[in-house]
Amino acid sequence: MVVAVEKNLGGLSATEYERRLEKFEARINRGEKIEPADWMPDDYRQQLIRLIHVHANSEICGALPEGRWIPHAPTFKRKLALLAKVQDEVGHGQLLYRAAETLGPSREQLIEDLITGKSKFSNVFHYPAETWADVAIIAWLIDAAAIINQMMMAEGSYGPYARALKRICYEEAFHMKHGYEMCVVLAGGTKVQRDMLQDALNRWWAPIMMFHGPSDKESKHTAQLVRWKVKLKTNDEQRQQFLKQFVPKMLDLGMKIPDQSLRYDKQADAWLYDDPDWNEFKKVVNNGGPVSKERVEARRLAHRDGQWVREALTAAAEKKPVSPPPSH
Amino acid sequence: MTDTQWKVFEVFHQQARGEPHVHVGSIHAPDAEMALILAKEQYSRRQACVNLWVVPVEAILPTAYENDDIFERGTDKSYRESWGYKTPKTITASHGATEPRSHEG
């Protein structure tokens, strides 16, 4: 096997580095978890920080399109469920930032990088939720796609991330079930409701097809991440799993998949499709999407508006006088 | 920006009275009292919870995984275990007797 050239030996001699790397990889192959205090290759650390950071940012930014719909939920039950989901997503962000911190960066740094646009968040949250049916599609299909990703990552080699994900998956299960119920209601409703659901799927299909990331032909990180059990499946494998599980369910609800190229190949037991527009994906995740600027700005304002609360709590803990909130 | 990174508290969660407290994760908080409030928000939204502990992370002294050989057993420690002692179901069987021995002797 060709071992990638390591840029950073962490001040170790090449032989010592090789010795540690071999031990590290042997542990991963035995299915052991790597813990924060353990030696790890710098590449492993950096890749994990990148992945967990993007994941945490996505939870936080994912709460924004849904949060905006809380006041407009059609029933009290839906409002309660949506409130709970949004609370969960923000909680998941907190759990994940904690997991990322165990690898080095501080919480402030992680948040700062998001609000200055230095770090990324999931492509799907760069698009607006235009109607109530978008909320249903997000909760069902995007959470379904996320669960496929997170169930896999929960078996990964880094202990703090895997443990956080187990907890997260448990909570996401309700989001997806609730989303499916919302779609079932719309799909069985009036023509206006059915059209609204189809219209939402038409707009969300391409972003959902890109959700698991660039195709294996293009993804530059995948091979090493799979070897180190950061990921256990490639992006295309995850996408395939999603299509197998959910295309039949969408068709069952009478939805039309807005992709002429999508077809099932019996012999390969796989869904075939033309690659989505990966240039759009790259543009979107680099904050060039329809509402990228709004998302980052909403997060910046929320962080700014919470500043006085953090300061007040710090002052109270130090038994110092607490300043009142600013009036802006 | 005057943000400070608050201290880290490890969180332990008890599902029912009498059960052990189980480590579930950690949070940042300015002090222990606030840590309990935040831990409740973060870790008791779903599963039953009757009690939470928060412990400043500095209060925990862990063994080092690199030294996990301290837990290895150099010698046979089966004498510490109930399965280390094999006894027959009945005493008569162990003596190969077909008839029960008289208690009168």
- Asked if A310's CB is within 8 angstroms of B3's CB, the reply is yes
Q: What's the mean pLDDT when you consider all of chain A? A: 93
- Asked if A37's CB is within 8 angstroms of B65's CB, the reply is yes
- Is the residue at A316 inside a domain? no
Is B26 within 8 Å of chain A by CB? yes
**Residue-level pLDDT at B100:** 53
List, in order, residues 6 or more apart from B65 with CB less than 8 Å away.
Answer: A35, A37, A38
Structure tokens at A31: 């299915």
- Is the residue at A122 inside a domain? yes
**Residue-level pLDDT at B64:** 84
Residue-number span of the structural domain to which A107 is assigned: 41-282
Chain A residues bordering chain B (beta-carbon distance below 8 Å): 35, 37-39, 87-88, 91, 94-95, 98, 106-108, 112, 163-164, 167, 170-171, 307, 310-311, 313-314, 316-318
pLDDT over 50 (residue A1): no
- A147 near A139, Cβ under 8 Å? no
Burial level of A73, CB count in 10 A (0-12/13-18/19+)?
middle
- Is the residue at A327 inside a domain? no
Chain A interface test: which of B12, B33, B46 (most A C-beta within 10 Å): B46
Element (DSSP H or E) covering residue B11: strand B7-14
pLDDT band for position A7 (cuts 50, 70, 90): low
Q: How many Å apart are CA A286 and CA A328, to the nearest integer?
A: 31
Element (DSSP H or E) covering residue A243: helix A235-252
- Is the residue at A233 inside a domain? yes
Strand partners, A327: none
Structure tokens at A22: 């071999």
Contact list, A313 vs chain B (CB under 8 Å): 29-30, 34
Contact list, A106 vs chain B (CB under 8 Å): 5
Segment among A4-13, A150-159, A223-232, B12-21 with least mean pLDDT: A4-13
Domains annotated on chain B, with CATH = 7-94 (3.10.20.520)
Question: Which bin fits A192, alpha (ψ -120 to 50), beta or left (φ > 0)?
Answer: alpha
CATH of the domain at A84: 1.20.1260.10
Report the percentage of chain A scoring pLDDT > 70: 98
- A131 near A68, Cβ under 8 Å? no
- Is the residue at A308 inside a domain? no
Is B6 within 8 Å of chain A by CB? yes
Q: Which residue has the tokens 């309660």?
A: A80
> In which residue ranges of chain B is pLDDT below 50?
1, 105
Q: Where are the alpha helices (DSSP H) in A259-325?
A: 278-283, 292-317
Structure tokens at A73: 């939920």
**Residue-level pLDDT at B92:** 73
- Is the residue at A56 inside a domain? yes
Of the candidates A98, A107, A170, which has its C-beta nearest B46's C-beta? A170
> For chain A, give me the number of helices (H) and strands (E)?
12, 2
Question: pLDDT tens digit string along A8-44?
Answer: 787 888 999 999 999 999 999 999 999 998 999 999 9
Of the candidates A88, A171, A317, which has its C-beta nearest B30's C-beta? A317
- Is the residue at A309 inside a domain? no
pLDDT over 50 (residue A2): no
Q: Give chain A's domain count.
A: 1
**Residue-level pLDDT at B99:** 56
Element (DSSP H or E) covering residue B91: helix B91-94
- A194 near A186, Cβ under 8 Å? yes
Global pTM value: 0.87
**Residue-level pLDDT at B95:** 63
- Asked if B41's CB is within 8 angstroms of A167's CB, the reply is no
Structure tokens at A126: 């760069």
Query: Is this complex's ipTM strictly greater than 0.85?
Result: no
Residues A313, A314, A317, A320, Cα dihedral to 10°: -100
- Asked if A317's CB is within 8 angstroms of B31's CB, the reply is yes
Distances in Å between the Cα of A180 and the Cα atoms of A97, A133, A138 are 29, 11, 10
pLDDT over 60 (residue A141): yes
pLDDT band for position A323 (cuts 50, 70, 90): confident
Contact list, B26 vs chain A (CB under 8 Å): 98
3-state secondary structure A108-156: HHHHHHHHCCCCCCCHHHHCCCCCHHHHHHHHHHHHHHHHHHHHHHCCC
- Asked if B34's CB is within 8 angstroms of A313's CB, the reply is yes
Rounded to an integer, the average pLDDT of A172-193 is: 95
Q: Write the DSSP string, A62-97.
A: HHHHHHTTGGG-SSHHHHHHHHHHHHHHHHHHHHHH
